[in-house]
Amino acid sequence: MSETATRRSEPVSAARRQFDPYTKAVWGLMNHWYPAFFSSELGEDEAKGIKVCGIPVILRRANGEVFALRDQCAHRGVRMSIRPACFTKDTLTCWYHGFTYDLETGKLVTIVAAPDDPIVGDVKLQTFPVREKNGIIYVFVGDDGYEPVPDLAEDLPPKLPADYPHQVPHLLDDDAVVLGIRRTVASNWRLGVENGFDPGHNWLHRDSPIVVALDTALPLGLVPRGPNALTTFEGDGPKGIRNEWDSGDYDVVMSSEKLGLQARGANKIPGLRTSIFLPGVLMVEHWPAYGLAQYEWYVPIDDEHHEYWAVVAKSCPTPAERTDFEYAYDKLWRDAALGAFNDDDLFAREAMENFYAEGGTGWDDEQLCGMDAVIVGWRKIVSRYARGYQTPQAHPTPKNA
């Protein structure tokens, strides 16, 4: 993996030309891994539907394994997840006319009332690769036949170097316990991403109950000033950008003399950094407390909504440590950190939606400033390394084999 420092040394107008593909990525990035459900949400023999980048997907668990198919019957286009029908361990049947598909291949294997129809065996629904790890079910939403399918690790933040002094758990660590929530937000996915790691919006959380209760020294904002303020990841492995808040090249703003504002709290969290990686997954090291890591996804649903995932991870090598972490999560982190603290972010994203909505002028009229260097850097990286962009999906049509 190569890391190169980046600085904002060009006018926004010049930078905008370099991230123009990003401004057109209204429906999301294709050919990437996204979280679909928490493992606890999909029991044995259950089938449930979601939408990712406008594509309807149905997931079913059978014999412990999770399968994913396009949630749109090839016959008349209805979503099968509206009323799931599962009669065998290896098939999924449409509730309307009985078209029945093989879970693994997506091939039409029978029709309830017309098993000898000549289209049986010739029709096929698109299938999607699935990976389940540490309580999260991931699905690779891509173009039909996209190859090679990258490893899940390519679409998650990289693990920290072994010699880094402030280690946090990674989502794929065998001893990581990952707990969290997900909810639908009425804004485009890009507004969620940019809000999540924007270092200038910290003052929005100045009066958050968890900041006050833990006396956390949360700055009013952070402004990059030097070449080491940001690190970009553009070599082998995940692609993204990280705020290096402790680099010495950030202005850490703790007060506003003109407005009479003062950051609250005295307890600084060592190693606190944020980073964002394709296709839109945030990593916050040592938040909401030292030793923890918060991860967030902003999964595109359509052009005006995204599914917001927020999880907290902790390394728990023993059952006792797991029990203690689950207790702390239930009593504090879920409601105070993932709930109340992030509620302000949801409010901000939805407040921006009208300005940036498709057909609006936000992408041309926004007036970015120095503290937005990381946002510009992120937009460029997406424009360079996204594996594909979804097209408008008002009436998506399934593809047959």
The answer on 330 and 194 residing in a single domain is yes
Both 203 and 303 in a single domain? Answer: yes
Do 85 and 158 fall into the same domain? no
Residues near 172 by Cβ (< 8 Å), separated by ≥ 6? 133, 134, 152, 153, 156, 159
Question: Are 210 and 288 a contacting pair, CB within 8 Å?
Answer: yes
Q: 74 and 105: one domain? A: yes
User: Among residues of the chain, what percentage have pLDDT more than 90?
Assistant: 74
Structure tokens at 271: 């190693």
CA 5 – CA 220 distance, rounded (Å): 25
* pLDDT above 80 for 192: yes
Q: How many separate domains does the chain show?
A: 2
Q: Is residue 172 part of a domain?
A: yes
Give yes or no: residues 12 and 53 share one domain: no
By CB atoms closer than 10 A (0-12, 13-18, 19+), residue 320 is exposed
pLDDT on residue 395: 63
Mean pLDDT lowest among 141-155, 166-180, 298-312, 359-373: 359-373
The answer to whether 204 and 348 are in contact (CB under 8 A) is yes
Q: Are residues 53 and 169 in the same domain?
A: no
Same domain, 113 and 181: no
- Domain membership flag for residue 198: yes
pLDDT at 310: 98
pLDDT band for position 11 (cuts 50, 70, 90) = low
Q: Looking at residues 388-396, what average pLDDT do you find?
A: 82
Do 238 and 335 lie in one domain? The reply is yes
Is the same domain home to 231 and 176? yes
Mean pLDDT on 21-27: 93
On whether residue 162 sits in a domain, the answer given is yes
Position 344 scores a pLDDT of 95
Q: pLDDT-derived band of residue 401, with 50, 70 and 90 as boundaries?
A: very low
10, pLDDT greater than 60: no
Domain boundary among 78, 97, 131: 131
Query: Average pLDDT for residues 121-149, to the nearest whole number?
Result: 96
* Chain centroid to CA 277: 9
User: Is residue 167 domain-shared with residue 233, that is, in the same domain?
Assistant: yes
Cα gap 199→221, rounded to integer Å = 6
In a domain, 143, yes or no: no
120: containing domain: 32-131
Q: Is the same domain home to 37 and 16?
A: no
Cα–Cα distance measured from residue 198 to residue 289, given in angstroms and rounded to the nearest whole number: 19
Q: Report how far residue 166's alpha carbon sits from residue 270's, in angstroms, rounded to the nearest whole number.
A: 8
140 domain-assigned: no
Looking up residue 120, the CATH number of its domain turns out to be: 2.20.25.10
Task: Band the pLDDT of 7: cuts 50, 70, 90.
Answer: very low
Q: How far is Cα 97 from Cα 219, in angstroms, rounded to an integer?
A: 59
**pLDDT reported for residue 34:** 98
Query: Is residue 1 scored above 90 in pLDDT?
Result: no
| pLDDT tens for each residue of 71-116 | 999 999 999 999 999 999 999 999 999 999 999 999 999 999 999 9
Residue 392 lies in a domain: no
CATH of the domain at 278: 3.90.380.10
The domain boundary residue, chosen from 102, 131, 160:
131
Which of 101, 131, 161 marks a domain boundary?
131
Residue 362 lies in a domain: yes
CB count in 10 Å sphere of residue 140: 19
8 pLDDT tier (thresholds 50, 70, 90) = very low
The DSSP output letter for 290 is T
Is residue 102 a contact partner of residue 62, using CB atoms and an 8 Å limit?
no
Pair (107, 241) in one structural domain: no
Q: Say if 139 falls within a structural domain.
A: no
3-state secondary structure of 167: coil
